[in-house]
Amino acid sequence: MNYISTRDKKTYFDFKSIFLRGLASDGGLFLPEKLRKYSKDDLQRLSKLNYFDLASEIISNFSEPFLKKDKIKSIIEKAYVNFDSKDVVKLNKINGVNLLELYHGPTLAFKDIAMQVIGLIFDEIDLNKKKINIVVATSGDTGSAAIAALKEKKDINLFILHPYKKISDIQRKIMTTCVSSNIFNIAVKGNFDDCQKIVKQMFNDEKFREKINMSGVNSINWARIVCQIVYYFYAYFKMQSKINFAVPTGNFGDVYAGFVAKKMGLPINKLIVATNNNDILFRVINSGEYKPLKVKPSLSPSMDIQVASNFERLLFHIFKEDDKKVKISMQKLSDEGFFKLEKDELNILQNDFEAERVDDSETLRIIKDFFVNYGFILDPHTATAVGASYKIKNESKTVILGTAHPFKFLDTIKLAIGKKIEPPKKFLGLTEKAEKFEILDNNLLELKKFI
């Protein structure tokens, strides 16, 4: 499959190079030149596959010829052996609520589903004995998933930038208690958008990027999107009718994967973007104006994002693949701090997406009600999607993506239901372990020096 940049559709790249580069050198994001479209008969055939075969089938569309279906299959089988659900994910029906639990991997958030695969794809790349330095920004869950996937790899160093004091204690501890000589945790005195900006600036600095042989695994890495497409198909086959998906959203990676599934022929009605008070996506989907505001800390920290990077991929679609227009809009965003969609462009966006904003008090109330009524504990991110799904008025059933295990947000759960929850077995004793991380200023030069 050939890949292009959202800001230049004339230059082609292959899967291996976009996998290693993450971000195009023109600042754009990589996209496949065209998508495979499944027919009704194809879907019928896919519906009979187990998760592993389904994943191999879907992912190999994007990775061939570099990684063929058999190779992907062996990667998938290895990637998911340690998941606590035999099907990797689990569709749980709780009193009429369809919850797709995506948090049964090693670090208790959906990020594991893509990251475990990515860790093994790195093993397939001949690095010519040249060490790779991966720099990644995390709003709390990508970092731990990346550590679990890449620790002890001798040809890779991993630098993780998390916003200082803006993630939960458990999220931080899962990262900073990991003992492995190739892992470097850095707390940046800023928010997630600052961390993400620094990583993008490093990528766009050709000299620095070459010097450290830099690579990235943020959600702008196309391979992550690809792995996330799979569970949309899985959920649809379990539900057997045209459905909505409600998705707790930050960087727009997970819900964009749902959009790709729809473009590949999956009968999805609406993709429902759930945001917290960091509501840039709620605003653009309802009004057409894309305008980042200041990040406000919330009870769902992995969604405390105002620059939703993957939205640029959707822009390419909304602008009918006009790469110049994407470039101009992104330039306007950086010069003037916003851009606005035309009426017909907004229509295209609203054809596939709806958005709802759920604030902290609503989130707490939903967690409490769910616990009191059904005895089930939602994490605060998943709760925003449950809240969003209550506001949707169309006829289709809705599947809610459960993006994290509630243990990661102990204090918020305690606030909501008045009691502490027990750690899952694999994290017994976590809170007593010693931590190791650096605290650095929000300063590109200082971070470059450190790396």
192 binds ligand PLP (CB under 6 A): no
404 binds ligand PLP (CB under 6 A): yes
Q: How far is the CB of 95 from ligand PLP (least distance, A)?
A: 22
C-beta of 38 vs 282, nearer to ligand PLP: 282
C-beta of 132 vs 167, nearer to ligand PLP: 167
Taking only Cα atoms into account, the Rg of the chain, rounded to an integer number of angstroms, comes to 20
C-beta of 158 vs 280, nearer to ligand PLP: 280
Provide the pairing of β-strand 132-137 with 97-101. Answer: unpaired
Rounded to whole angstroms, the Cα distance separating 194 from 49 reads 42
Task: Please name the amino acid found at residue 303.
Answer: M
Backbone φ, ψ for residue 185 (5° rounding): -90, 130
Tell me the CA distances in angstroms from 161 to 26, 144, 166, 288, 305, one per residue in order: 23, 11, 12, 31, 14
In sequence order, what are the residues at sequence separation of 6 or more whose Cβ sits closer than 8 angstroms to the Cβ of residue 320? Answer: none
Q: How far is the CB of 435 from ligand PLP (least distance, A)?
A: 20
Q: How far is the CB of 343 from ligand PLP (least distance, A)?
A: 26
Q: How far is the CB of 252 from ligand PLP (least distance, A)?
A: 5
Binding mask 359-388 for ligand PLP (x = CB under 6 A): ----------------------x-------
C-beta of 83 vs 252, nearer to ligand PLP: 252
Per CB under 6 A, contacts with ligand PLP among 209-238 are 219
107 binds ligand PLP (CB under 6 A): no
Per CB under 6 A, contacts with ligand PLP among 238-257 are 248-254
278 binds ligand PLP (CB under 6 A): no
- For tokens 């029906």, the residue is 93
CB-based contact 358:384 (threshold 8 Å): yes
> Per-residue DSSP letters for 368-411?
HHHHHHHS-PPPHHHHHHHHHHHT--SSSEEEEEE-B-GGGGHH
Out of 101, 141, 354, 356, the residue judged to bind ligand PLP by CB under 6 A: 141
Binding mask 33-72 for ligand PLP (x = CB under 6 A): ----------------------------------------
Q: How many CA atoms lie within 13 A of 424 on its CB side?
A: 18
H or E stretch at 317: helix 311-318
Rounded to whole angstroms, the Cα distance separating 183 from 159 reads 6
Q: How far is the CB of 19 from ligand PLP (least distance, A)?
A: 18
Measure CA of the first residue to CA of the last residue in the chain; give whole Å: 34
303 binds ligand PLP (CB under 6 A): yes
Alpha-helix runs per DSSP H in 137-221: 142-150, 169-176, 192-204, 206-212
H or E stretch at 86: none
With 0-12 / 13-18 / 19 or more C-beta atoms within 10 angstroms meaning exposed / middle / buried, residue 336 is: exposed
C-beta of 132 vs 276, nearer to ligand PLP: 276
Rounded to whole angstroms, the Cα distance separating 235 from 151 reads 31
C-beta of 212 vs 367, nearer to ligand PLP: 367
Q: How far is the CB of 428 from ligand PLP (least distance, A)?
A: 22
Q: How far is the CB of 230 from ligand PLP (least distance, A)?
A: 15
If binding means CB under 6 A, how many residues of this protein chain bind ligand PLP?
Answer: 16
CB-based contact 134:146 (threshold 8 Å): yes
C-beta of 133 vs 171, nearer to ligand PLP: 171
196 binds ligand PLP (CB under 6 A): no
C-beta of 132 vs 225, nearer to ligand PLP: 225
Q: How far is the CB of 76 from ligand PLP (least distance, A)?
A: 20
Rounded to whole angstroms, the Cα distance separating 223 from 20 reads 10
162 binds ligand PLP (CB under 6 A): no
109 binds ligand PLP (CB under 6 A): yes
Out of 60, 133, 176, 403, the residue judged to bind ligand PLP by CB under 6 A: 403
Would you please indicate which residues are annotated as catalytic (active-site) residues?
Answer: 111
302 binds ligand PLP (CB under 6 A): yes
C-beta of 38 vs 231, nearer to ligand PLP: 231
Tell me the CA distances in angstroms from 439 to 79, 142, 186, 428, 430, one per residue in order: 32, 19, 6, 27, 21
Q: How far is the CB of 212 from ligand PLP (least distance, A)?
A: 25
CB-based contact 46:68 (threshold 8 Å): no
111 binds ligand PLP (CB under 6 A): yes
Task: Tell me which DSSP letter residue 33 carries.
Answer: S
Binding site for ligand PLP (CB under 6 A): 109, 111, 141, 219, 248-254, 302-303, 381, 403-404
